[in-house]
Amino acid sequence: MNSNRGEDMYQTGIESVRSKKDLETIQAEFIQYGKKFPWRALVCSGASCMSSNCQGVKDALESALEKYELQSAVDVVVTGCMGACSTGPTLIIEPEDVFYCGLQPKDMDELVRIHFLEKTICREKTFFNLNTGEYIPYLKDVPFFKGQEKIVLQNCGRIDFRSVEEYIANDGYLALHKALTQMSRNQVIQEISDAKLRGRGGGGFPTGLKWKLASKNESDDKYVICNANEGDPGAFMDRSLLEGDPHGIIEGMAIGGYAIGANRGVVYVKAEYSKAIERTEEAIRRAREINLLGESIFGTDFSFDIEIRIGAGAFICGEETALIASVEGERGEPKLKPPYPSDAGLFNKPTVINNVETIGNVAVIILKGAAWYSAFGTEESTGTKVFALAGNINNSGLVEVPMGTSLREILFDMGGGIPEGKKFKAALPGGPCGGCVTEEHLDVPMDFESLPELGATTGSGELICMDEETCMVICATIGSGELICMDEETCMVDVARYFMEIAQEESCGKCIPCRVGTRRMLEILERIAKGQGKEGDIELLVELGNVIKDSAFCGLGQTAPNPVLSTIELFRDEYEEHIHDHCCRAGICPDLSGGPCENVESGAKPSDKEL
Amino acid sequence: MIRLTINNKAIEVPEGTSILEAAKANSILIPNLCYLEDVQKIGSCRICVVEVKGMPNLQASCVTNVKEGMVVHTNSQRVRKARRVIYELILSDHPTDCLICERNQACELQTLGEILQVGETRFSGERSKIIVDDSSLAVVRDHDKCILCRRCVTTCNEIQGVRILDMIHRGFASTISTGLELPLGETSCTNCGQCVNVCPVGALKEKDATEMVWEALQDPERTVIVQTAPAVRVALGEEFGLEPGSNVTGKMAASLWDLGFDHVFDTNFAADLTIIEEGTELLQRLITNLYLDGVITEEQVKKTGIEPLTEKVALPMITSCSPGWIKYAEHYFPDQLEHISTCKSPHMMLGALIKSHFAEISGIDPDKMFVVSIMPCTAKKFEANREELRNDGRKNVDAVLTTRELAKMIKDAGIDFLNLQDRDFENPLGISTGAADIFGVTGGVMEAALRTVYEIVTGRELPFEGLHVGPMMGLDRIKSATVTIENPTEAFSFLDGAEVGIASTSGLAGAATLLAEIKEGKSPYTFIEIMGCPGGCISGGGQPRMTSEETRIKRMKGIYTEDESKTLRKSHENPFITKIYEEFLEKPLGHKSHELLHTHYIKRKKY
Amino acid sequence: MSIATCRVDTMDEQDKFALLTQVIEEYERKPSNLIQVLHYAQSIFGFVGADVQRVIAQKMDLPLAKITGVLTFYSFFSTAPRGRHIISVCLGTACFIRGGQPILDHLKEILGIDVGETTEDQRFSLEIRRCIGACGMGPSLIIDEQVFKRLNVSGIEQILDEFE
Ligand SMILES: Cc1cc2nc3c(=O)[nH]c(=O)nc-3n(C[C@H](O)[C@H](O)[C@H](O)COP(=O)(O)O)c2cc1C
Ligand code: SF4
Ligand code: SF4
Ligand code: SF4
Ligand code: SF4
Ligand code: SF4
Ligand code: SF4
Ligand code: SF4
Ligand code: SF4
Ligand code: FES
Ligand code: FES
Ligand code: FES
């Protein structure tokens, strides 16, 4: 998407931002500029909406505005993902905050006429609540947005991701200024620690502690790495954040750099994320141009610059040591820890690796303080978590909720429940590393403590360990934020097979339990799904799965068996039906007879069926 | 010191020790597979996992260092079960070919199965890609049996610096392969066989020559002549259960007679000859340059009895007896080849002499001769096939057997090696001095050459204790020294006070360092010894497997003991060398020498 | 760098190699830049074949085995030419739950190729992606740059017809 406000897009005349005053000037200028327009029309340009032709919608919107001579009344802004992806292309009109969705280019003429000329709401184009059969025009009333708390995503879907001015107008780079001019390195770290920010990349490791470990190491070179490999097969939080608010990540990384004493940052992005790469690259360029990156930022002696490294299709490169290997130009194989990256990471220098979303929290914590931040969420899990909601659910998309929100609220209130009135079967909160959550645990709060308490039912997620003295282990099943909802027509054997297929496809091949073990597990599952399961297969899967978990080299192998073990625990009868009755009650496994698997329910023996 | 308990035993070990090593030092053995002392610790096979109190997962003991107060269990049910399952997983991707595998009874994987009491697997399924590559004249890859331990990769990359092998593809499709997955024979593999030596299973082996030799032995038409390299005699015994370094020269000769070879010679004879030729070449190179630079007069040159060349020559001069090193140089330093002595390697010299001089005196038709070399080396298999190592169209050497292959033949023939009566080599091509023995160890060729050259130049014995050039001894990667020439003979008076820089290295990583210096014109040396394998031929790619540092030291000691036990310890003192010059070769670097004993090298491409 | 603006498809082999060399120079031959160089190589040549690997090894002074090892580790790189159109079926969790697998199976059947392969007429290559960012509207697939959503098996042939 290359032109929206076209030539008119506001760009500051300030060539180098040296002070808070410069920031304030830009802010004032931008507000002044905004005042020229009675309305702002925010067109979502997130990945999902782009795939639904939001470009066409935007073009049609602009022609309609031209036709009705409204160009100077409506500022058309392209933004990142607004969250309600399944309803895209989406459009928000400020100041009323009316939310339009499911748009097509042909709708735009009418919409422009009704909204801007007639000044009423074009109801049919607003959100339709399937459960009540009503249209809901105002964003704040849409159930999907209710209960959400946008901290990390505050700018995402609200500002033009290309405009550093607009970012600054929304208090951007004030946190960096504050850190550099009013806080010592230790104070920054302390603030992050006090806010109890924990890693959102799956491990939940305390970010403040991680920074502290790296800051204590003396070295000429240190690095901050932003982990945007986002490997979970249905996750798009990190991508949306980079696409929709790249300056937020740049600012967070720079603050991290200051705190640990690093002058260089690397954003490691998955190769498939071409838009995220493009937008981040452009944001870095622009930040450099006005000296928000580069030498002596804000006139202090702190220098920081960021480089983008593009991954090349390897889930394992999300693991920190594998990521480092990849940035160094090697095969992305995990390495031994210790040494931990905070001691010897990229090019053997002290390195902090944080997830995109973790970094997205940094600036706001510094700006508004730890106390403000930790008021969100629970005692030990503060702030919010972004989830990528998908699967058999009415409203899929991105939601940001305070930590501790229950799965039920997320799935049924925001997500709008299961389509076509089908029954909920299970949710997978940890992607391929975690386990299932069933109906009875739907009220569990989504935070770092509660999910692990479910123990075996949720698997153990990723293990992270870093502390020079003791090996500290945090089990967190909150995972990265991929949240998949499954209805009654899902076959759990098939789901287990699916995740095992991914694990074995993404295994780096370094260690035997994972390289060979995941393959053997997959083969057993494939056999079962084909109706060729044998007596003892379930036990073999459990034995093998537990050994792989116990002995694999890295987090991938250590968590790969979780979906299998968890589904066996919760849905063992389904496995048995496949094996003994050659029946798939969901009707998914093509070689088996479809359900309901009556033989089992009626207590008949497999042999009866064959006769 | 760190205190910890392993299996409830309180132990104390230095900081930085791994659990595996700590356990071993306290008589607790932890099974392992990918770990290789001194070479690699990568924690990839997970066979060595143990339980560490406080850790949620099992830990690989080869890569986990001890910590104060650690509580370790190496044989709990949980550990034993995990190990067995992991072993079963390996088997599920491995042929069950033990009975016809060349590693049968000498295979680390097999032994592991015995230890873990697992002989079969409950898992079955797809097998990973099968690569059988016998394109190389020296090394065969049978990757059906590869367990991806990566010892070969680490060895080729880090120890040898040749960097031919790497892990290719990922996950279940992973294999060890070459760049572009080319057949090994089309790469710049040096044939050093160091990868073969570390492979725990039958995935890497030498190209078999035993069948060819058996056939020749059975052929009444052919005269089969054998020669044995210096380093074989201190290692062969290991294949029969003897300690590394045990000298089995007499038993080896006896077994060769028993195998039915018609003549049993010793490559050591040619090692002495090499010293004469190579020593003279070194002096010739020095004198040529001094003369052409006008430092010395024609008159002075005449007195030395050495004929200068007409063009300036490259210095430092580098030894040429290691074909692993030669092929490395041809690929990686094609522009520095003129630094390498033109001397053939000793067994090639002997082969050439057998098919010329010996044919003459014995009246055997050289076309009916079949010359077999018993070598510690896989690279010599390739060498024997070089076009330029033929005379009158005949190969100098027809077949090369490694130490391991010889042991196999001895066993196959039913020879009770350990109870053999010692026998001798045949004369004249079987007599040698101590200088020849030390060819088998790093620094040895240098020392042997100095024993002769120094004496030629000064008329006095090399002024080192026990004739050993201390700074050239030992297993350090690069060793160097300066020898000052004092009080030379009249003929070499121009060398008075000259300081001659010497260096020796073994293992190709060291060669790269020295060659880079030469390439940049910064080499401070005049004479350099390079051997392709770390430690020299004592740890050649054809030696009994698992050449640990400890084994190397023992074999090295064996070699020096052999040298010291001889009355004649300088090549020029070998009466049969003098005789062969008188009767056949005329003089060092003479016409016949050039034809039979010298060679040239080929520029080759990298990778 | 000029890469983005230059028209790779109109260049001859020699120019392509010259461009590759230029890329390597710009990356200062640093081994750590290998993956970035491979990305460029793939966009210049469409795949990273044997000649290209040799040139990279030589110019960056890296072992050829290492180039092959790194290249084959990452699924984004291809060592053989690919079809004119690349079909990437999304098998991210959301699309999988919503029926992506039958779509893939159907494509395999009608194209007669497996994932990672190319049809004999060089028309299509078939690949899998794990989420293309249209989860709410799965199952989905991408052909070249174009996204197709809310698919069902019966509509697949019609979509393919659009691509020559
Ligand atoms: C197999 C595997 C894949 C991972 N993938 C990702 C990923 O895609 N993104 C991410 O941020 N962290 C990922 N992680 C976690 C990282 O190793 C690391 O813990 C994280 O980036 C740290 O950032 P945080 O503390 O901000 O969460 C992965 C871990 C493993 C074991
Ligand atoms: S917690 Fe476990 S997996 Fe993590 S680093 Fe420590 S030992 Fe390794
Ligand atoms: S667990 Fe899997 S991904 Fe991790 S090192 Fe082992 S093989 Fe590689
Ligand atoms: S019927 Fe079989 S395939 Fe279907 S859900 Fe039950 S166990 Fe799974
Ligand atoms: S390599 Fe070892 S385990 Fe494998 S077939 Fe040969 S002897 Fe048997
Ligand atoms: S061990 Fe058993 S199978 Fe093997 S040879 Fe002896 S008797 Fe036969
Ligand atoms: S023989 Fe030597 S050079 Fe060749 S692959 Fe093996 S270790 Fe490398
Ligand atoms: S070839 Fe041998 S040494 Fe190399 S990885 Fe395979 S088993 Fe290990
Ligand atoms: S050092 Fe000896 S064994 Fe090794 S390649 Fe050279 S000659 Fe062969
Ligand atoms: S992409 Fe538009 S709402 Fe998510
Ligand atoms: S020996 Fe320790 S992991 Fe292989
Ligand atoms: S899972 Fe298919 S688009 Fe996300």
pLDDT digits (tens, 9 = 90+) for A187-208: 999 999 999 999 998 878 899 9
**Is the pLDDT reported for residue A482 higher than 90?**
no
- Specify the pLDDT at position A606: 40
State the pLDDT at residue A1: 38
Query: Percent helix, strand and coil across chain A, each rounded to 5?
Result: 45, 15, 40
Element (H, E) at A42: strand A39-44
CA dihedral (A250, A252, A254, A256) positive or negative: negative
Q: How far apart are CA B482 and CA B501, in angstroms?
A: 4
- Asked if the Cβ–Cβ distance from C93 to A234 is below 8 Å, we say yes
Which of C40, C45, C56 lies closest to C12, judged by CA?
A: C45
Q: Is A474 in the pocket of ligand 2 (CB under 6 A)?
A: no
pTM above 0.80, yes or no: yes
Question: What is the per-residue DSSP string for A186-226?
Answer: HHHHHHHHHTT-B-TTTT--BHHHHHHHHHHS--S--EEEE
A180 and A313 Cβ atoms separated by less than 8 Å: no
With a pLDDT cut of 90, the percent of chain B lying above it is 97
Residue C30: list chain A partners with CB under 8 A.
329
User: Ligand 1: which atom is nearest the Cα of residue A357?
Assistant: 26
Q: Is B206 exposed, middle or buried (0-12, 13-18, 19+ CB in 10 A)?
A: buried
A474-476 vs A462-464, strand pairing mode: antiparallel
pLDDT tens figures, A420-429: 889 999 988 7
- What residues pair up with A198 in beta bridges, in sequence order? A206
* pLDDT the model gives residue A445: 86
Q: Check B206, B277, B281, B330 and give the catalytic one.
A: B281
- In chain C, the N- to C-terminal Cα span, in Å, equals 33
Catalytically annotated residue among B34, B62, B152, B321: B321
Nearest alpha carbon to residue B504 among B485, B484, B532 = B532
Which CATH number is A164-371 given? 3.40.50.11540
Tokens in use for B140?
């065969």
Which listed CATH number (3.40.50.970, 3.40.50.720, 3.40.190.10, 3.40.30.10) goes with C85-161?
Answer: 3.40.30.10
Residue at B116: amino acid letter: L
Please name the CATH architecture into which domain A37-141 falls. 3-Layer(aba) Sandwich (3.40)
Residues of chain B contacting A512 with CB distance shorter than 8 Å: 44-47, 86, 89-90, 147-148
Domain ranges of chain C: 8-73, 85-161
Q: Does residue B582 have a pLDDT over 60? A: yes
Lowest mean pLDDT among A126-140, A253-267, B138-152, B213-227: A126-140
A7 Cβ contact list (under 8 Å, min separation 6): none
Q: Are B92 and A516 in contact (CB under 8 A)?
A: yes
**Residue A473: pLDDT above 50?**
no
Say yes or no to pLDDT of B573 above 90.
yes
The whole-number pLDDT of residue B240 equals 97
Mean of the pLDDT values across residues B501-515?
Answer: 97
Question: What ligand is nearest to the CA atom of residue B155?
Answer: 7
Q: What is the pLDDT of residue A454?
A: 59
φ/ψ of residue A399, rounded to 5: -125, 145
Residue to test with chain B: of C72, C76, C79, C114, most B Cβ within 10 A: C72
Residue A345 Cβ < 6 Å to ligand 10 = no
| Structural contact between residues C62 and C34, judged by C-beta atoms closer than 8 angstroms | yes
- The CATH architecture that domain A380-611 belongs to is Roll (3.10)
- Asked if pLDDT for residue A146 goes beyond 50, the answer is yes
Q: Which of A253, A319, A342 best tests ligand 1's pocket when mutated (most atoms within 8 Å of CB)?
A: A319
For the ranges A394-403, A507-516, B148-157, B221-230, the lowest mean pLDDT is seen at A394-403
pLDDT at A235: 86
Buried b / exposed e over B40-61, threshold 16 CB at 10 Å, is bbbbbbbbbbbbbeeeebbbbb
Contact state of A336 with B43 under an 8 Å Cβ cutoff = yes
Do the Cβ atoms of A245 and A252 come closer than 8 Å?
no
Give the pLDDT of residue C143. Answer: 95
Q: Over range B182-193, report the average pLDDT.
A: 97
Q: Which of A258-267, A442-451, C153-162 has the lowest mean pLDDT?
A: A442-451
Asked whether A361 lines ligand 1 (CB < 6 A), one says: no
Domain boundaries, chain A: 37-141, 164-371, 380-611
pLDDT for A457 equals: 32
Rounded to 5°, angle at Cα C43 from C37 and C47 = 90
How many CA atoms within 13 Å lie on the side-chain side of A182?
10
Helix pair angle (C50-60, C34-45), 10° resolution: 140
- Give the pLDDT confidence score for residue A466 in this predicted structure: 31
DSSP 8-state class, residue C63: -
Cα-to-chain-centroid distance, residue A594? 36
- Buried residues in C26-37 as b, exposed as e (16+ CB within 10 A): ebeeeebbbbbb
- Evaluate if residue A159 carries a pLDDT over 90: yes
Residues in CB range of A541: below 8 A, 6 or more apart? A521, A524, A525, A564, A565, A568
Reply yes or no on whether the pLDDT at B594 is more than 90.
yes
Delineate the domains of chain B, giving CATH numbers in brackets.
2-116 (3.10.20.740), 132-206 (3.30.70.20), 284-321+331-341+432-539+562-597 (3.40.950.10)
Q: Is A90 in the pocket of ligand 10 (CB under 6 A)?
A: yes
Q: Is the pLDDT of residue A368 over 80?
A: yes
B481-494: average pLDDT = 95
Q: pLDDT-based confidence at A607, cuts 50/70/90?
A: very low
What confidence tens digit (pLDDT) does each residue in B528-568 have? 999 999 999 999 999 999 888 999 999 999 999 999 999 99
User: Which pLDDT does position A598 carry in this prediction?
Assistant: 60
Decide if pLDDT at B22 tops 50: yes
What's the token pair of residue C161? 């017809």
CB B87 within 8 A of CB B47: yes
**For residue C138, what pLDDT band results from cuts at 50, 70 and 90?**
confident
pLDDT, tens digit, 9 for 90 and up, residues A533-567: 999 999 999 999 999 999 999 999 999 999 999 99
In angstroms, what is the span from residue B329 Cα to ligand 9's centroid? 14
What is the per-residue pLDDT for C24?
A: 97
Q: Per the residue annotation, which of B388, B465, B490, B520 is the catalytic one?
A: B388
For chain A, give the mean pLDDT: 90
Active site residue B12: no
Q: What is the pLDDT of residues A568-602, one digit of tens each?
A: 999 999 999 999 999 998 989 988 988 677 654 44
- What average pLDDT score do residues A88-111 get? 96
Confidence of residue A471 (pLDDT cuts 50, 70, 90): very low
pLDDT at C1 over 60: no
Residue B464 in this model has a pLDDT that exceeds 50: yes
Question: From the CA of B331, how far away is ligand 9's center (Å)?
Answer: 17
pLDDT higher than threshold 80 for residue B132: yes
Kindly determine whether residue B172 and residue A314, on different chains, have CB atoms separated by under 8 Å: no
Contacts of B171 in chain A (CB under 8 A): 504-509, 515
Higher-confidence residue: A605 or B294? B294
Q: Which of A395-404, B183-192, C52-61 has the lowest mean pLDDT?
A: A395-404
Task: Identify the residue whose C-alpha is closest to ligand 5 atom 5.
Answer: B98
Determine whether B321 is an active site residue: yes
B402 has which bridge partners?
B375
Average pLDDT over residues A358-365: 98
**Residue A282 CA neighbour count, 13 Å, CB half:** 17
Q: Which of B51, B108, B239, B383 does the annotation list as catalytic?
A: B383
- Is B550 assigned a catalytic role? no
For residue A478, the model assigns a pLDDT of 55
Ligand 7 mean position, distance from CA B194 (Å):
6
Which pair of tokens denotes residue C157?
A: 């042939």
Q: Report the residue of chain C nearest A484, measured CA to CA.
A: C94
Tell me what pLDDT residue C136 has.
80
A328 interaction partners in chain C (CB closer than 8 Å): 31-32
Q: What value does the mean pLDDT of chain B take?
A: 96
- For residue A248, which of A276, A270, A229, A221 has the smallest C-alpha distance? A276
Residue B158 annotated in active site: no
